[in-house]
Structure 1
Amino acid sequence: MNALRLICLSFALICASVPLLAQASPVELAQYRSPVDVALSKNGEWLVVANQSAGSISLIDTRRQVVLDELAVGKHPTAVAICLDGDHVLVSCSYSGQVSLVQVDGNTLQKKKTFDVGFEPNGLAISPDGQKAYTGLVATGEVAELDLEAGQLVRKFPVGPWPRYLTVTPDGSKLAVGCSGESKIVVVDIASGEIAYAEKLSGGINIGHLQCSADGKHVYFPWMVYRSNPISRVNIRQGWVLGSRIARVRLDGPEYREAITLDESGTAVADPHGMVISENQKRMVVSASGTHELLVYRRADLPWEGIGGPGDFIDSRLMMDKDMFGRIDVGGRPMGMAMADDSRTVYVANYLKDAVQIVDIESRKLLAEIPLAPAIEVTQIRLGEALFFDAQRSLDQWYSCHSCHYNGGVNSKAMDTWNDGSALTMKTVLPLYDVDKTGPWTWHGWQVDLNDAMHKSFTTTMQGEKVSEAEKEAILAYLKTDRSPPNPFRGSDGQLSESAQRGKAIFESSEANCAACHSGPYLTDGKIHDVGLGSDEDEYEGFNTPSLVGIYRKVRFLHDGRAKSLEDVLVDFHSPEEVSGTRALSDGELTDLISYLKSL
């Protein structure tokens, strides 16, 4: 039975067991929920789930294991958190730029307040006194602070690119933020809103959920590491391309991070995402979304390594002690988790299962699944989505498409993907939004067949098996969907600011000459140009004009990531005088042009 048929069978079995909602829901029933996060009430009697595809949250009775209510909250929910009063929850809606306060009133959900915080709010953290809440704004590199009692946005403070997840220390004095755009953990002094210190994660990408220890000494989190070695079967199997880690960073002052490796030889771990620590502090659980499993650890005596560690493979001590480490196959795509106060029952938001799973981490068993919606047709797009996030399609399951193209976008590194036939010619990861409309493909533009490009991603970049014809069509159907977030640098009606309007005129002018190549609806002419940025190691001459749509999301620019900002691009490596032989831009022109570029 091939992989596609297995996926279909899995979905069919799920759909067959789905009961009707306990009461009517304002959410369209005939769609996937795609749960990404879950929060459990203090008494353990109910939980709330954030449903990303449906733009809703679901209220679940944990004893009867049924959905009580579902409420539409906004576009692309990413996180939920329960307020200190126990009767309200917060949900961040990334594409709406909002955080909603929802009351749990018996068996129903009622929206009470919506905070407009800016794009894209992601993780949530609530202060120990319950008065303040914090969310990371991925698009602008800030943290927003909400006053829950006053019902208003209090302030924003900069932390660095892509602050997806965060947590507050038990004493409420510090905020730890995972900034994936700069591969670092930022520790913020909450009183001042200033960065106290930051700990760099060498080669770090895709930082997952953060959890503080009860004593407030450490923050724990999963992440992936990219190591700049050529993609080959040997290097992949040695963990020298991509690998998965758990790290901890001190919260009482700067000190080099400590880490453990997650990967076993032959059966690696991929796309670690969620993390919970048990009430008794004995267990730490990580969801490995790419390999469809939970990883269970005995926290007290884990072999943490600092400088020089932790090695390429999991420490042998973990492999020899089944109580210290275990893997639980739960299928689908496990994401956020919540743990009951019995320190053994874990509730898992499983995106592709469209369900909340109940797992006993001591017996290492999946006990039950609570479906979130009635049965619906398994679409081709959904099958393609499952394949995109499936690391088991790569050699020894080290990484998925998502590992490099985070949620279909980009990551923070220049990588050697081997797709241009040369080793160690690092290229920034190109986003896959509008990929069917922006050919040719690859930085050198040599790839003119999207079908073949997709095949090579699985067989060359991932060194996995070829996809079948049906799988190929499913993946391409998924990639052709509109998954891009709204642009935060435009007005609510999509209009440009005055600065961006001036920048548009500069962009189209003969002095800047940007529109000569970056033209059309996706701002690419689909042609190859030599702008003097190549090297002798390149297999091909010239570069394919990249689309500028969504360029505000990037943290590295140009094909090899040598430019760290749009200003670097325009005044140095790719300036009008260098590329077009015109003149340098004035400071005012530069500011306006950057404003326009961010609005694209």
Structure 2
Amino acid sequence: MARLTSRNAIIDPDLDRSPVDLAINPAGTWPAGQWIVTSNQTSDSISLVSTESRTVVDEVVCGDHPTDIVFANSGDRFVVTCAWSGELVLYRLESNPRPLDTRESSRPTTSSSQDKNAAATPEIKEVSRIQLGFEPSGVALSPDAMRAYVGLVASGEVVEVDLEENKISRRLDVGHWPKNLTISPDGKRLAVGCSGEGKIAVVDTASFELLYDEPLVGGINLGHMVASRDGSQVYFPWMVYRSNPITIGNIKRGWVLASRVGRVRLDGPAYREAISLDVPELAIGDPYGIAITSDEKQMVVTAGGTHELLFYRLPDLPFIGAGGPGDLIERELQYDRKRFDRIPLGGRPLGIQIAGDDRTAYIANYLNNSVQVVDLVERKLLHEIDLGGSDSMSLARQGMAIFHDATRSLDQWYSCHSCHQQGGSNALPMDTMNDGTELTVKTVLPLFGVEDTKPYTWHGWQQSLDDSIAKSFTSTMIGKPPAASETKAVRAYLASLELPPNPYLGLNGELSESAARGRQVFFSSKAACADCHRGPELTDNEIHDVGLNSKHDFYEGYNTPSLRGTYRKVRWLHSGRAKTLERVITDLHSPEKVNGEAELTEQEAADLIEYLKTL
């Protein structure tokens, strides 16, 4: 039966949890490593898991799309970001009189406070809820837990949050899509992974100033981040796009999409160092989570696309700076199981943390609705802790599994998700050869509302979504064609995709004064935006020649793209040559060039941009 949570909301036991991250309690009020909290994205909840009984002991509704979760050093408080509701929520583990089972109550402790709490099961209590807006994602806490640092993906900012005053104290522009971040152990440096422009931004927390950026050439899909024990550098997985046509030879050489782990200095600017992860004919797909043992002898990485956990002996990894790394894993690693190993986990493993024993790793597995327990010494999966969910996959969830499965591509280098992050787009124009030509790069079109936005591809030459899906697997991924049932499942998943609530709209969907004026410009005969961008999906489903053709294009004209979620993009037009909306409407795709009308005034252009962000 459904259980009443501490926020008086019913959580359906058959609702998929889909955990994306987890955190283990440090020593403090409770014995270290006794409790895990998970952020469950599709149930909008957080779960409290006992590591001793391997059961869920509490679960509460948190907010829309919980994402990152971090414990404070005190061990009894933690914070979670809720991306779609734009919130940072602070919780406390509070003792209650419910006894633990025999295994838990007999756990040895080292203090009287721990003796007291070891005999009880805590419950999750909300302390405060702070509205941040703009899709908060990654979060880090200062050592004293007085301040939280949060990346706001939709506005390209990092904010400092005063957890005593429950308000934003400082803001800093860092770059597009600051999805993940971490803080040095001394709290002096903040590393921010900006996936929208492939870079690591390093911030001084005292002055709250950007110290320097470290670019990752061709970098996309930056994963979780972890700082070294001395705070001198930060480690992170990411993918790199090499701007080459998708051919069998290029894929096998690692010249299309490839996986890396990198490290960047936090104590001063220096060129990034990296290692290649991909094994010939058995590559690594969509690396995401990362953790390092406290003695820094072992590093582990989750690979969501290939459903596995990767093991690396950290001290002697061949990190290479300028001129490297190579396209494939170094042979010295590939054949040395003491230095590199991999085990299957199934599902979609994402967030990972290592317990204080430096032997046990806990992994949030999105598709399995579980926390997985791995022995890092034996290198095997020990247990799977069920968080709740349906006993059978819905058709849409089956499609989700296919969409995130890199093993469906040639030599398992990448998945649909590698390019269509969370159903949207990545940050680089790519040459998928979908139109039959080489070196005619196109930005990746988002998939929201795809059923209603035909024809398909930038040139609109495909009329059937089923055919488009099949061609993606056989041409873009150079894999096996999907069965009819698999295509049906992928369509169901695409139909289930939702755009996040637009943070540029008011609480009731109202427009700012500038955006309201911009709406008038949008629908005016002068700008004539609505001539092509109309209807619920803001497209007329037609092909137009607007003077942006490349001489190498096989087809003429372009499919009118939907403008829904425009604020989420970092590149515009088919080639991605426009990196700002200003350049789109005042230069490359300006009204006077498209329809021959007069040039927009500076005010009209500014107002139109504000309106476009609200679509």
Normalised by the length of structure 2, the TM-score is 0.93
Given residue 317 of structure 2, which amino acid in structure 1 is its aligned partner? L
SS in 1 for 2:422: helix
SS in 2 for 1:182: coil
Is 1:533 aligned to 2:548, yes or no? yes
Is 1:71 aligned to 2:55, yes or no? no
Tell whether the 8 Å contact from 1:31 to 1:376 is kept in structure 2 after alignment: no
Distance 1:319 1:229 in 2: 25
Aligned match for 1:338, one of 347, 353, 375: 353
Tell whether the 8 Å contact from 1:233 to 1:463 is kept in structure 2 after alignment: yes
SS in 2 for 1:178: strand
Distance 1:144 1:494 in 2: 24
Shift of 1:23: 8.8
User: In the alignment, which residue of structure 2 is the partner of 1:451?
Assistant: 466
Tell whether the 8 Å contact from 1:440 to 1:447 is kept in structure 2 after alignment: yes
User: In the alignment, which residue of structure 2 is the partner of 1:365?
Assistant: 380
Shift of 1:20: 9.5
Shift of 1:178: 0.3
Aligned match for 1:479, one of 473, 476, 494: 494
Given residue 172 of structure 2, which amino acid in structure 1 is its aligned partner? F
Is 1:46 aligned to 2:35, yes or no? yes
Distance 1:21 1:369 in 2: 22
User: In the alignment, which residue of structure 2 is the partner of 1:267?
Assistant: 282
User: In the alignment, which residue of structure 2 is the partner of 1:10?
Assistant: none
User: In the alignment, which residue of structure 2 is the partner of 1:11?
Assistant: none
Distance 2:494 2:391 in 1: 21
Shift of 1:234: 1.1
Pairing of 1:295-310 with structure 2 (within 5 A): 295-310=310-325
Is 1:192 aligned to 2:207, yes or no? yes
Is 1:177 aligned to 2:192, yes or no? yes
Pairing of 1:482-561 with structure 2 (within 5 A): 482-561=497-576
Shift of 1:374: 5.3
Distance 1:526 1:192 in 2: 50
User: In the alignment, which residue of structure 2 is the partner of 1:412?
Assistant: 427
Say which is worse superposed, 314-323 or 535-544, in terms of deviation.
Answer: 314-323
Is 1:27 aligned to 2:11, yes or no? yes
Q: Against the structure 1 CA distance between its residues 221 and 293, is the aligned structure 2 distance closer, same or farther, given a 3 Å change threshold?
A: same
SS in 2 for 1:80: strand
SS in 1 for 2:168: strand
User: In the alignment, which residue of structure 1 is the partner of 2:84?
Assistant: 95
Tell whether the 8 Å contact from 2:4 to 2:10 is kept in structure 1 after alignment: no
Given residue 522 of structure 2, which amino acid in structure 1 is its aligned partner? F
Tell whether the 8 Å contact from 2:86 to 2:133 is kept in structure 1 after alignment: yes
User: In the alignment, which residue of structure 2 is the partner of 1:596?
Assistant: 611
SS in 2 for 1:286: strand
Tell whether the 8 Å contact from 2:5 to 2:61 is kept in structure 1 after alignment: no
Tell whether the 8 Å contact from 1:523 to 1:549 is kept in structure 2 after alignment: yes
User: In the alignment, which residue of structure 2 is the partner of 1:381?
Assistant: 396
Distance 1:316 1:129 in 2: 44
SS in 2 for 1:571: helix
Q: Which runs of 4+ in 1 moved over 6 A?
A: 19-25
Distance 1:430 1:400 in 2: 15
Distance 2:495 2:10 in 1: 28
SS in 1 for 2:550: coil
Aligned-pair RMSD on alpha carbons? 1.4
* Identity across matched positions, percent: 54
Distance 2:391 2:123 in 1: 24
Tell whether the 8 Å contact from 2:2 to 2:13 is kept in structure 1 after alignment: no
User: In the alignment, which residue of structure 2 is the partner of 1:436?
Assistant: 451
- State the Cα deviation string for residues 169-205 of structure 1 (Å, max 9, x = none): 1221111100011110000111222210000000000
Tell whether the 8 Å contact from 1:166 to 1:178 is kept in structure 2 after alignment: yes
Given residue 223 of structure 1, which amino acid in structure 2 is its aligned partner? W
Distance 1:290 1:435 in 2: 23
Say which is worse superposed, 77-86 or 261-270, in terms of deviation.
Answer: 77-86
Given residue 308 of structure 1, which amino acid in structure 2 is its aligned partner? G
Tell whether the 8 Å contact from 2:5 to 2:11 is kept in structure 1 after alignment: no
User: In the alignment, which residue of structure 2 is the partner of 1:8?
Assistant: none
Given residue 200 of structure 2, which amino acid in structure 1 is its aligned partner? I
Shift of 1:324: 1.1
Shift of 1:348: 0.2
Q: Against the structure 1 CA distance between its residues 537 and 88, is the aligned structure 2 distance closer, same or farther, given a 3 Å change threshold?
A: same
Pairing of 1:191-210 with structure 2 (within 5 A): 191-210=206-225
Distance 1:444 1:417 in 2: 13
Given residue 278 of structure 2, which amino acid in structure 1 is its aligned partner? D
Distance 1:113 1:129 in 2: 17
SS in 1 for 2:611: helix
- State the Cα deviation string for residues 343-389 of structure 1 (Å, max 9, x = none): 12100000001000000111110000000015544210110010010
Shift of 1:418: 1.1
Aligned match for 1:423, one of 438, 448, 457: 438
Distance 1:319 1:505 in 2: 60
Is 1:351 aligned to 2:379, yes or no? no
Tell whether the 8 Å contact from 1:21 to 1:67 is kept in structure 2 after alignment: no
Distance 1:302 1:295 in 2: 13
Distance 1:320 1:464 in 2: 27
Is 1:581 aligned to 2:565, yes or no? no
Normalised by the length of structure 1, the TM-score is 0.95
Distance 1:228 1:305 in 2: 21
SS in 1 for 2:466: helix
SS in 2 for 1:500: helix
Distance 2:155 2:248 in 1: 38
Tell whether the 8 Å contact from 1:20 to 1:374 is kept in structure 2 after alignment: no
Distance 1:374 1:404 in 2: 28
Is 1:117 aligned to 2:132, yes or no? yes
Distance 1:431 1:452 in 2: 17
User: In the alignment, which residue of structure 1 is the partner of 2:264?
Assistant: 249
